[in-house]
Structures are given as structure tokens and as C-alpha cells.
Amino acid sequence: MQGNPRPSFQPAEAGAVLAGTMGVCGGAGALVGWAAGDAGYGALAGVMVGIPAGVYAVYRRFRGYFS
């Protein structure tokens, strides 16, 4: 009896999850910044928050591969 095979890691999917998460955070930051008076700084802050959020999202998606 064999155990379950490890799930495959798909770099294109991981990149899409990372880029999508960063895009959503950047867009949300731009909206908050626009409401506060400067959409550029808001988008920058959103992307800065989106980088670790994207890494966490990729980790959660592929956590079976990393363990």
C-alpha cells in the first residue's frame, strides 16, 4: 500500500496567485489612497502589503508541496 503522491508544484499557477494577490492589494490601496487624496501613494502602500500577502497566498495554495 502506497501513500498519497505529493501534489505537483506549478510555477505558472504560483505566479498567477502571487500577481493576482498583489494586484488586488494594489488596487485596494489605490482606492483608499484616492479617497485620501493621492492614489499613487495608496497603490504603492497596497503593493507593499501585497508582496507578503501574495507569498502567504502561494504558501497556503501549495502548502502540501512545501511540507
Q: Is 26 left (phi over 0), alpha (psi -120 to 50) or beta?
A: alpha
Cell numbers 479617497 correspond to 35
Residue 66 is predicted with a pLDDT of: 67
Tens of pLDDT, residue by residue over 13-67, are: 999 999 999 999 999 999 999 999 999 999 999 999 999 999 999 999 988 886 6
Could you tell me the pTM of the whole model?
0.82
